Amino acid sequence: MADNILEIKNLTFSFRTYGGVVKSVRDVSFDVREGEILGIVGESGCGKSVTSQCILRLNPEPPGFFEGGSILYKGEDIVKKSDKEMRKIRGTEISFIFQDPMTSLNPTMTIGKQIEEIFVGRKGISKAEIKERTIEILKLVGINEPERRYKQYPHELSGGMKQRVMIAIALVGKPNIIIADEPTTSLDVTIEAQILDLLKDLQHKMKTSIILITHDLGVIAKMCDRVLVMYGGKVAEKGTVDEIFYETAHPYTAGLIKSIATLDTAKEHKLVPIDGTPPDLFSPPAGCPFAARCEFAMKICYERQPEEHQLSPEHMCACWLQHPYAPKVDIMKGMEQEGKA
């Protein structure tokens, strides 16, 4: 097993707002290994974006602040770093691909300049070399006529091309970790497939680790080695892709899987949505955040936080159903036997 490159321990991050303190990320722990793709899945507002932005300290601070925990990168705690120290990590050690390429590029700066900006203020590289590397990276991410694109502005490019440029920006500093926050959500399905293939291909070539954030289990299945399922600011379940899909242990994960439509889903077969809405993180529930929506919820689920149960070396599930005294239930019930993943 490869070494851990990033270790996140008991991370808790909150925002002070007019309405009170929002506990966006609560006691989240996971690690990222060299050369793997780790998926983080969950619905809107579950804290996946905030968690990932904590790693690069991109959340606005204030109003955001760390309540506890640590993020260890190369043995140093990112939580304790100053903005100046963070600048050395951003772009060249860890880089970020944002969700919406339409709004994530500066409209008044050429593509080439935006990529080259990574090298601003870094020593030991000449202007000619920088340009050479920029053109090279544009070619690598599959942009035709890189010399011409270099001088173009974002509005002259299509959405897919812009996302390729974003990937180029993330790659050009040769980072060890790339965080991709829903990189394909705003793209159409064919472009999505191209971008995902590109990411996977580049990850193979460059041996970087990728943290892929998505709400699409299909993307997870296609791309990832390991998966982290988040709910209500906490980790609900984590494990390898196979464990998550075939040995599903958490009712929330089961709910996500049950609500996927596939090509062979029968016409009369009803998809099962998860009823209800995510918890209010201003005052998180005392018990399991998912209890209110969980069809298997027991009394204890509302009263106490579930313990973390290690089901295999990789597979962890935070659910009272894993407790030895809990009733044995089939959380995948309602799913037709169609052999789907």
Partner 1 sequence: MTKYILKRVGISLITIFVLVTVVFFLARLMPGGPFNDPKLSETARENLSAYYGFDKPIFEQYITYLKNILSFDFGFSTKYPSRTVNDLLAGSFPYSVDLGVRALCFAISFGLVFGIISALNRGNKIDLIFVIIAVIGTSVPDFIMGAILQYFFAIEWGLLPIAEYKGFAYTILPSVGLGFYTMASVSRIMRASMLEVVQQDYIKTARSKGISRFRVTWKHQIRNAIMPVITILGPTVAAVLTGTFVIESLFAIPGMGKYYVESVQNNDYSLILGMTVFYGTFLVLCNMIVDILYGIVDPRIRIAGK
- The CB-of-284 to partner 1 minimum distance in angstroms stands at 26
| Residue selected from 14, 104, 203, 248 as contacting partner 1 according to rule CB under 8 A | 104
Stretch that binds partner 1, among 110-118, 191-199, 215-223, 237-245 (CB under 8 A): 110-118
Tell me how many residues contact partner 1 (CB under 8 A): 33
* 156 is an interface residue for partner 1 by CB under 8 A: yes
- Which positions from 54 through 83 interact with partner 1, judged by CB under 8 A? 56, 58, 83
Stretch in the footprint of partner 1 (CB under 8 A) among 34-42, 129-137, 149-157, 284-292? 149-157
Nearer Cβ to partner 1, position 66 or 96?
A: 96
**Between 47 and 91, CB nearer to partner 1:** 91
Among 155, 269, 304, 333, binds partner 1 (CB under 8 A): 155
Judged by beta carbon, residue 96 or residue 150, the one nearer partner 1 is: 96
Of 1-9, 148-156, 237-245, 323-331, the segment contacting partner 1 by CB under 8 A is 148-156
**13 binds partner 1 per the rule CB under 8 A:** no
Q: Give the shortest CB-233-to-partner 1 separation in angstroms.
A: 21
The contact mask relative to partner 1 for 14-53 (x = CB under 8 A, - = no) is ----------------------------------------
For position 96 contacting partner 1 by CB under 8 A, the verdict is yes
What's the CA angle centered on 220, arms 214 and 223, to 5 degrees? 115
Q: Is 95 in the site for partner 1 (CB under 8 A)?
A: yes
From CA 101, how far away is CA 119, in angstroms rounded?
21
Does residue 339 come out as left (phi exceeding 0), alpha (psi in the -120 to 50 range) or beta?
Answer: left
Choose which of 16, 74, 80, 87 interacts with partner 1 (CB under 8 A).
Answer: 87
Q: Which stretch binds partner 1 (CB under 8 A): 14-22, 71-79, 151-159, 299-307?
A: 151-159
> Measured from the CB atom, is 141 or 166 closer to partner 1?
166
Is 168:94 a contact under the CB 8 Å cutoff?
no
Quick one: which of 72, 86, 221, 311 contacts partner 1 (CB under 8 A)? Answer: 86
Q: What minimum distance in Å lies between the beta carbon of 326 and partner 1? A: 43
Q: Which is nearer to partner 1, 34 or 100 (CB)?
A: 100
3-state secondary structure string across the chain = CCCEEEEEEEEEEEEEECCEEEEEEEEEEEEEECCCEEEEECCCCCCHHHHHHHHCCCCCCCCEEEEEEEEEECCEEHHHCCHHHHHHHECCCEEEECCCHHHHCCCCCCHHHHHHHHHCCCCCCCHHHHHHHHHHHHHHCCCCCHHHHHCCCHHHCCHHHHHHHHHHHHHHCCCCEEEEECCCCCCCHHHHHHHHHHHHHHHHHHCCEEEEEECCHHHHHHHCCEEEEEECCEEEEEEEHHHHHHCCCCHHHHHHHHCCCCCCCCCCCCCCCCCCCCCCCCCCCCCCCCHHHCCCCCHHHHHCCCCEEECCCCCEEECHHHCCCCCCCCCCCCCCCCCCC
- Residues 71/4, Cβ–Cβ less than 8 Å: no
121 binds partner 1 (CB under 8 A): yes
Binding site for partner 1 (CB under 8 A): 56, 58, 83, 86-92, 95-96, 98-100, 103-109, 114, 117-118, 120-121, 153, 155-156, 166, 169, 173
